């Protein structure tokens, strides 16, 4: 007897129980995969609007074409073709601070603004000016490719609005957006997909720590598509060849100054 408990699942000869519900009676055939992801992360079933917004976020994060995660998965699927979990897991390892961290940074800004009790516009003005004057990227804003606006952020906030999912976090994100533009002398910087998702996860009650986890689950679905394509129409050997040819070897002494 250790005193430790789990509330996640148990089973006996005739039933499986998941967080207090009977898997076969209450869950299979009655709830979507998205409902269950929410249920296991948050501890209660989502309302239909919450589930629709979570679906929109998960759909958004699944796929971005060639990224480090998808390239890794393609290479690993070619090397370990019979254990597809290895290829998916290898890719997921890179859903890390560089690529998912801005979502967390934006969520922290929004939580701090709401919890501080400070006047929202004053908070946003102060934050925007701090980041812009320090030439630091504002988490949740800007995109290398998508200009003037990241179309995913626009659509996500529309979907949320249609489902009545608006509140203090979305409101604060919009105010922050205005202040960021103002601090940049009127040059517009888009809210990006991770910024919109940060606000929406907060609105639907996702714990901060679970946010990156949801990105991981979503990307797992996207990477499965890459595994399937790798088997039908391989890219891994081409990636290897492109790398060999594009990044040649040179003796270390030749560039001893680097």
Which of 115, 135, 253, 257: binder of a copy of itself (CB under 8 A)? 253
Q: Taking contact as CB under 8 A, which single stretch among the options 120-128, 129-137, 151-159, 179-187 is the one that binds a copy of itself? A: 151-159
**Is 156 a residue that touches a copy of itself (CB under 8 A)?**
yes
Residue 117 or 246 having the CB closest to a copy of itself = 246
Pick one of 50, 69, 194, 199: the residue that binds a copy of itself (CB under 8 A): 69
172 closest CA partner among 214, 217, 204, 202 = 202
Q: Does 119 bind a copy of itself (CB under 8 A)?
A: no
Taking the C-alpha atoms of residue 173 and residue 196, their distance in angstroms, rounded to an integer, is 8
- Are 13 and 22 contacting, i.e. CB atoms less than 8 angstroms apart? no
Sign of CA dihedral 186, 190, 196, 202: negative
x-marked contacts with a copy of itself along 10-49 as a string, rule CB under 8 A? xxxxxxxxxxx--xxx-xxx-xxxx-xx--xx-x------
- Non-local (6+) Cβ contacts of 258 within 8 A are none
Nearest CB to a copy of itself, comparing residues 183 and 197: 197
Binding footprint of a copy of itself, residue count (CB under 8 A) = 129
Give the end-to-end CA distance of the chain in Å, rounded to a whole number: 59
| Count of C-beta atoms within a 10 Å radius of residue 117 | 8
Positions 167 through 226 that interact with a copy of itself (CB under 8 A)? 207, 209-210, 212-218, 220-222, 224-226
Task: Tell which one of 108, 119, 122, 147 touches a copy of itself (CB under 8 A).
Answer: 147
DSSP states along 69-117: HHHHHHHHHHHSTT-HHHHHHHHHTT-SHHHHHHHHHHHHHHHHHHHH-
The answer to whether residue 107 forms part of the interface with a copy of itself (CB under 8 A) is no
């Amino acid at each position: 007897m250790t005193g430790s408990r789990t509330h996640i699942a148990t089973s006996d000869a005739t039933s499986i129980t998941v967080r207090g519900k009977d898997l076969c009676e209450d869950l299979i055939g009655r709830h979507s995969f998205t409902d269950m992801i929410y249920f296991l992360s948050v501890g209660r079933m989502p309302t239909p609007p919450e589930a629709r917004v979570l679906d929109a976020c998960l759909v958004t994060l699944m796929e971005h074409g060639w990224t480090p995660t998808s390239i890794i998965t393609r290479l690993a699927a070619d090397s370990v073709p019979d254990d597809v979990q290895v290829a998916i897991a290898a890719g997921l390892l890179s859903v890390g601070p560089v690529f998912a961290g801005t979502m967390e940074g934006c969520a922290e800004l929004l939580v701090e603004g709401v919890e501080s009790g400070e006047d929202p516009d004053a908070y946003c003005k102060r934050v925007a000016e701090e980041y812009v004057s320090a030439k630091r990227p504002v988490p949740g804003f800007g995109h290398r490719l998508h200009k003037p606006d990241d179309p995913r952020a626009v659509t996500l906030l529309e979907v949320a609005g249609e489902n009545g999912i608006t509140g203090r976090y979305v409101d604060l994100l919009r105010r922050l957006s205005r202040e960021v533009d103002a601090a940049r002398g009127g040059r517009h910087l888009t809210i990006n997909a991770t910024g919109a998702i940060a606000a929406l996860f907060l609105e639907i009650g996702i714990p901060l720590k679970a946010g990156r986890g949801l990105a991981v689950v979503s990307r797992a679905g996207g990477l499965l598509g890459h595994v399937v394509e790798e088997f039908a129409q391989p890219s891994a050997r081409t990636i290897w060849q492109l790398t060999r040819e594009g990044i040649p070897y040179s003796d270390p002494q030749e560039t001893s100054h680097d």
